[in-house]
Structure 1
Amino acid sequence: MTGSIWLPPGASSETLPGVPKQRPAPSWAEPDPIDELAERLDEFVAAAVHPDEIAALLESDGMSDDQIRGRYGVKNSFALAEELYDRVARRFPEPAGPVHDPWQVGLLGCLLRGVVFALPGFGYVLGAPLLAGHRESFNLPAGTLPLLASALVGWTWNQGLAHRAYSWLGLGDKPAARHSLLLGAPLGALLGAGAALAVAGTAHPTAAAFATAQSSYLAAATVLLVLGRERALMATLLPTTAGAVIAMVHPMPDAARLLLLLGSLLAVVTLALLEVRPGGNWLKGRGDRRDQPQSTRGQKTTMSPRTTTSLPFALFGLSSGALVLYAALGDILTGKTHSAAAAPAAVALTLSMGPAEWLLHRFRSNSLTGLRTTRTPKAFWRTTGLTLTQCLTAYLTVLLTLTVLATTLWPHTPTLSGVTLAGLLLLGMALWTGLLLQSFGAVMGAAAICCTAAAAQTLALLTHAAAPHWIALYVCGTAALAQVALVCALLGRVTAHR
């Protein structure tokens, strides 16, 4: 019947149950784990400029992609980072105290390193009469090929050795850094001397001896530079520098030249040995244990940098050294000019490494400021892009100024052509962006680009290609543009700036 209530058999209206009360939510309805994680990491996520910054934190906490999929139901750490980035509002609180900036360095110290890099060139001026003889292949002065072979081997080995030592220093283990230098520096000197002997043979014993001394100097100088002893290294080079300046204006006996060269070599090797001996740091009169951070004294470092990680740095040293040599010796190798033309380019490039280092630190410091002051990834990219343009323009201006000054002041130097000057500036751009990529952790890309450019230059030389400066212009320009593109691709990656 319409409107009647159906009752089960034996039931009456008096036995009908009342309206049921609302039951509590079942126990399985747990909070969203991503919300819990967002709450736990709230301060860090709120201050993140880009999701990649959060992904780096998740990976550093040991979260694997399998764990993230099982716990949070997303694909990987990057997907989880994007979820967290979307769920937490942006907040950028000002730090309570002074902000730590590891990239703050003094300009004077960087300029001093540039001078230290350039002073060994006076050794070649002082020792040039000791290498007198018939010109060699590719129209080079006598003894040049053994010196070039030794230098390339030394730059390659010592660049990799320096990276390994710096890796130990970054772990707070200065004794291990000294130990690696104690073993690696003599081996690098032997390799450089062996390369010189292989090239010189028995025809140029004086050149082989000079190249052996050059290898020993490069090894010892690497030790002092890695351990921050630029002032001591410069002091060992002052007698040779003064002797070369005097020799340019007044004849000097060969015995006096040899005595000055050997004296500087003996001084720098002695200082390097004192620095890396057990209980070193002789120049400051303190032992290794006092040089370690307080937290690492008496503790054994559990991490050990892999040797293979230093290989890309060694390759970058080889390729950049070869490109510098081709830029300095371009016309000489093709017989179009004399050796005096090589000096201004080499001096300008070497001296510019000091300002280049300071501008590199300046860029990294401003990038950290951009991380604190920008609010979106696009704003951060624009800020770092502007800083990159300013620093690169400043370096090229310094290099141009030094080249013009060196060409003007160096005696008997022909005027540089526009093509040569443009190629030199493009080479400087490639070198500076290569150093920047190293600091970004993208040294493999820089090494690959520079090695390709050096191989192209070598092939052009071996095939006697015409117009070497035009080839250098194309090769260095392509390398510079490729590295600038790679830098721009990394500008917006926040983790590259940490």
Structure 2
Amino acid sequence: MSGSLWLKPPATGTPLPAIPRPRRSSDGPSTPSDGPSTPSDGSPAPPGAYPTAPGAPPPAGDGLAADPLDELVARIGGLAAVAVHPDEIAALLESDGMTDDHIRLTYGRADSFALGEDLYARVERRHPAPAPPPGGAWHSGLAGCLLRGLVFALPGLAYVLAAPLLAGEPGRFGLPGGTVPLLAGAVTGWVWNQALSHRAYTWLGLGDRAAAARALLTGAPAGALAGTAVAFAAAAPGETPAALFAAGQSLYLAAATVLLVLGRERALLCALLPLAGALPAFRWDLPGPLRAALLLAALTAGVVLAALVLRPGARRGAAGRGGPPRAASLPYGLFGLGSGLFVLQAGIGDTLVSGAGAVIALTLSMGPAEWLLHRFRGESLTRLRTLTTAREFRRAVTGTLVLCLGGYLTALAALTLAATLVWPGAPWPTPPRLVTLLLIGTVLWLGLLLQAFGAVLSAAVVCLLAATAQSLTPGADPVAAGGAAAVLAVLTCALLVRPTAHRV
């Protein structure tokens, strides 16, 4: 049990001090020993003959030794005072090597859980007040998150520029020509780059930026090749232009992953500036060579900037240690697959959620979504340090979760209405389609939240099951989205109301 809670193992040199067993020598002051002793004449030891630990209560007036539990309180009271549940104290006792037999013999309690409950009841809660974040918590990191949302959405202009270049005969499954290879390459890139990002972020968390760059240096080109191969394999005769565009799309996804993971959002924004040339294409027909030149300029700039920031990873030995196991990144790839298929099928199915305007809104909303994830994390840690009971913590975290999710859905609805007004020919979202969009947004945000807390496999399974239901039952998007949102909401509440889920 001790390894499953938030408590870290104590340092090797600072275990809990052993409880002294006083004895009295016949010709000197009391000295610690392994067990109590009496004077040689058999008479009871006089009061004060037994030493007490610093901070422990004095011995009782009848000559008996102090209660060992009081001595234990004096030693670990500081740690017990900040616990929000008795099990945390039990984990502390177990991590220090206290067995149930030792606890029964020394303290008269059945096991570590019973002793933890007694200590939790005896010690007053004393949580240190957290230091307020600079500039106010509500504004911390907001600009960076909005910038990331913008760079997530800008690549959509590439499809506007490439649309006349990809025009052709109707494709398979009732979709426009070239859609299948484009989607196949995109999903492959999402899966690969999600797993690659997790591995690189793990290196960054270990403080080894050069090793993170090394992982990206080897993984990003492999992901681009995989996306290109899948796109060409999925292309039918006459869809070669779409497959070529999908190859460029895979190369861009690899470069964007490098820049985003290494914190170069502004560089990526500069690389995407040529795509702003798509704005006149909404009203005027641009020449084909100009469209191709703008696409190639953005792609080239992104690849060159990614190569420049990867230079530290090219040095020999930059990978450092063996690194985290690659299998640990697999669930993150599965989440990329599940969420990608879920959103794509909701977008291309019969219940397309208000057209291109909703797609733009959903992409732009990833910026506020990321900021609200950070907000939830920060608020939970603050509550963990300031509240005194597990019940208060559960109530506070549930309220914060509702507020953050409601804030994201409000931002998504506002962005949908704004994008519908701006995008030429976008249909006005009807109430059922808007509800479906909000359910899709709920699935994405809760899935990202579970991913942030390590429960990524559960989120991936739910998204994959919802995507499978959409495939087997056309027109079931609202039902699939609603069911997935309900399951993820239950999983989120079950996990995140526990104090131990937020310990770092």
Q: Sort the TM-score into its range (normalised by shorter chain).
A: 0.7 to 0.9
Superposed counterparts of 1:124-135, under 5 Å: 124-135=159-170
> 1:252 maps to which residue?
286
For residues 111 and 464 of structure 2, the distance between their equivalents in structure 1, rounded to whole angstroms, comes to 35
Identity %: 54
For residues 195 and 56 of structure 1, the distance between their equivalents in structure 2, rounded to whole angstroms, comes to 49
- In the alignment, is residue 479 of structure 1 matched against residue 501 of structure 2? no
For residues 41 and 33 of structure 1, the distance between their equivalents in structure 2, rounded to whole angstroms, comes to 12
Point out the structure with the larger helix share. Answer: 1
For residues 132 and 431 of structure 2, the distance between their equivalents in structure 1, rounded to whole angstroms, comes to 48
SS in 1 for 2:437: helix
Deviations 1:229-255 (A, max 9, x none): 011101111111x21112222221111
Q: Which moved more, 1:302-311 or 1:161-170?
A: 302-311
Deviation at 1:274, TM superposition (A): 1.2
- In the alignment, is residue 140 of structure 1 matched against residue 170 of structure 2? no
- In the alignment, is residue 322 of structure 1 matched against residue 344 of structure 2? no
Superposed counterparts of 1:77-476, under 5 Å: 81-82=116-117, 84-94=119-129, 105-240=140-275, 242-278=276-312, 304-331=323-350, 342-460=355-473, 465=474, 468=475, 471-476=476-481
Tell me if the contact between 1:34 and 1:72 (Cα under 8 Å) persists in the aligned partners: no
- Counterpart of 1:446 in structure 2: which amino acid? A
Q: Which moved more, 1:202-211 or 1:189-198?
A: 202-211
For residues 386 and 45 of structure 2, the distance between their equivalents in structure 1, rounded to whole angstroms, comes to 50
Tell me if the contact between 1:104 and 1:362 (Cα under 8 Å) persists in the aligned partners: no
SS in 1 for 2:127: coil
Deviations 1:303-337 (A, max 9, x none): 732212211111111111111112221228xxxx8
434 and 128 in structure 1: CA distance in 2 versus 1, 3 angstrom threshold: same
| Pairwise CA RMSD | 3.2
For residues 216 and 327 of structure 1, the distance between their equivalents in structure 2, rounded to whole angstroms, comes to 26
TM-score normalised by the chain length of structure 1: 0.81
Which structure has more relative contact order (CA 8 Å, sep 6+)? It is 1
Q: Which moved more, 1:30-39 or 1:107-116?
A: 30-39
For residues 80 and 212 of structure 1, the distance between their equivalents in structure 2, rounded to whole angstroms, comes to 63
- Counterpart of 1:188 in structure 2: which amino acid? G
SS in 2 for 1:22: coil
Deviation at 1:437, TM superposition (A): 1.1
SS in 1 for 2:428: coil
Deviation at 1:85, TM superposition (A): 2.6
TM-score normalised by the chain length of structure 2: 0.80
104 and 435 in structure 1: CA distance in 2 versus 1, 3 angstrom threshold: farther
- Counterpart of 1:169 in structure 2: which amino acid? L
How many residues are aligned here? 444
Deviation at 1:389, TM superposition (A): 1.1
Tell me if the contact between 2:313 and 2:319 (Cα under 8 Å) persists in the aligned partners: no
For residues 256 and 112 of structure 2, the distance between their equivalents in structure 1, rounded to whole angstroms, comes to 44
Deviation at 1:130, TM superposition (A): 0.8
120 and 34 in structure 1: CA distance in 2 versus 1, 3 angstrom threshold: farther
Tell me if the contact between 1:104 and 1:365 (Cα under 8 Å) persists in the aligned partners: no
Deviation at 1:279, TM superposition (A): 6.2
Deviation at 1:354, TM superposition (A): 0.4
- Counterpart of 2:152 in structure 1: which amino acid? F
For residues 300 and 188 of structure 1, the distance between their equivalents in structure 2, rounded to whole angstroms, comes to 19
SS in 2 for 1:152: helix
> 1:45 maps to which residue?
80
364 and 207 in structure 1: CA distance in 2 versus 1, 3 angstrom threshold: same
Tell me if the contact between 1:329 and 1:342 (Cα under 8 Å) persists in the aligned partners: no
For residues 262 and 383 of structure 1, the distance between their equivalents in structure 2, rounded to whole angstroms, comes to 50
For residues 303 and 366 of structure 2, the distance between their equivalents in structure 1, rounded to whole angstroms, comes to 23
For residues 157 and 339 of structure 2, the distance between their equivalents in structure 1, rounded to whole angstroms, comes to 22
Deviations 1:97-123 (A, max 9, x none): 667999983211111110100000000
SS in 2 for 1:441: coil
Deviations 1:190-236 (A, max 9, x none): 11111101100443111111000000000110000000101110111
- Counterpart of 2:426 in structure 1: which amino acid? T
126 and 36 in structure 1: CA distance in 2 versus 1, 3 angstrom threshold: farther
SS in 2 for 1:345: helix
For residues 249 and 90 of structure 2, the distance between their equivalents in structure 1, rounded to whole angstroms, comes to 47
For residues 321 and 385 of structure 1, the distance between their equivalents in structure 2, rounded to whole angstroms, comes to 28
> 1:291 maps to which residue?
none
For residues 24 and 210 of structure 1, the distance between their equivalents in structure 2, rounded to whole angstroms, comes to 92
For residues 226 and 465 of structure 2, the distance between their equivalents in structure 1, rounded to whole angstroms, comes to 24
SS in 1 for 2:427: coil
Tell me if the contact between 2:470 and 2:480 (Cα under 8 Å) persists in the aligned partners: yes
For residues 57 and 303 of structure 1, the distance between their equivalents in structure 2, rounded to whole angstroms, comes to 31
Deviation at 1:408, TM superposition (A): 2.5
- Counterpart of 1:252 in structure 2: which amino acid? L
- Counterpart of 1:447 in structure 2: which amino acid? A
Tell me if the contact between 2:470 and 2:477 (Cα under 8 Å) persists in the aligned partners: yes
